[in-house]
Amino acid sequence: MSYIPILPIDSGRYGTDEVKRIFSEEARLKYMLMVESAVAKAEGILKIIPEDAAIEISSKCNTNYVSYSMWKEIEKVTRHETASLVEAIVSVVSDKAKPWVHYGLTSNDVLDTAQSLQLKDYFEIIEEKLKDMIKILGSLAEKYASLPSVGRTHGQHASIISFGHKFAVWANDLLDHINRLNEIKSRVLVCKTLGVVGTGSILGKKALDVMKLVGVELNLHPVKAATQVVSRESYAEFVWWCALVSSTLDKIATEFRNLSRTEISEFEEEFSKDQIGSSAVPSKRNPITCEKVSSLSKLMRSMPFVALENVALWHERDLTNSANERFIIPISAIILDEMVESIRRILSKMVIREDNIKANIELTRGLVYSEFVLDALIRKGFSRSEAHKILRELSNKSRIEGKEFKEILLTDNIVSKFLSKEEVDQIFKPENHLEGSKEIVKRTLERIAKEIG
């Protein structure tokens, strides 16, 4: 019977091949063999095992000698993936080397260290993709820095904001995520070669020296202390990081979804010539990629709950973490990769409707400028509460009478005495209120150049 994909990751719907390859079973074998090789080499250097045996074991711990099919055939009998790997290696080395395969190790020395190698390769890929996205966001922030738009709070028009300001905020958020990633690497990318309960008992006084050499060989950080397993706090931190980044991507997608509403229409996803938006409504153009990002983020935010459950294991370890980690770690990585690719694609091919952005500023008949009128009255000597009360009343009058707020101000007996028509005209020019946003964009571009080049 042929294999039938069940999960959308397996069917090719989500995730890139370069990331999915890292978490494949074939790659898992490669990483586990790298660990066995590095340990044998270190033990040979330190004369814990015979040097010729170490050289032979190290040279044969690769898929040219230990194939995926060989490993899995043995596992059918042993029902233990690491023991099966050890048997496979033993079967390809000389009799003199056989006793020294996997010497001083326990299963999770290999499994946890191999997982660190997977995550190390993943971090390199996802970090570069995030950096590329940040650069795109920086370019968009610069492009739209001088484009006034409506800033909305509680879904209501609040004040004027540079449209580029949005992209600057997101770029800074993602720069912070890269900094978080670099900060957790020393805790997540660790190697452990300390045996059954984490004491290095078989290797004795040289146990920590072995782990140090393995760390150098594999470019990993020797774990500071462990039981039979690496403390699961580090994996919880990785999964949490994935969830946090995904939430920022959801924030971007949610903003775009709102801006694509028919009544706002400031943004539109790329829509190809033969793409279908709705099976029932031929005219529909739905923000489906943004909605996919938001949907996947909901799944991602559930992953840390499971990862945190894995922190408390019995004594020096049990297996209650093992099965679910085969899901939450690769799936978190692959889903985040899919979300990053999706947002990068949206940013590169989206449509920004500048005419609608400018037109939407006028929807409230000028009420969006009330913040600036308040400031002008305060500068003329009004107390904040006094000016606020006057403008609340005049704002309500504008709404009730359906008149322009500017007209209401110029005909009001109190306001017109303190603010001239020229002063009011300047207040009602949206481009006059972008200096703060422009400076934020400028500083964002400087930060991008400094931190990621």
The phi and psi torsions of 367 (rounded to 5 degrees) equal -65, -20
> What would the two tokens of residue 143 be?
């492009």
Give, in degrees to the nearest 5, the angle at Cα 423 between 417 and 424.
Answer: 80
- Which residues are the active-site residues? 154, 278
Q: How many CB atoms lie within 10 A of CB 1?
A: 3
Q: Which residues pair with 162 in a beta bridge?
A: 148
106/120 Cα distance (integer angstroms): 22
Q: How many CB atoms lie within 10 A of CB 378?
A: 14
Is the CB of residue 86 less than 8 Å from the CB of residue 102? Answer: yes
Q: What is the DSSP string of 339-400?
A: HHHHHHHHHHH-EE-HHHHHHHHTTTTTGGGHHHHHHHHHHTT--HHHHHHHHHHHHHHHHH
Of 157, 202, 101, 80, nearest in space to 365 by CA: 157
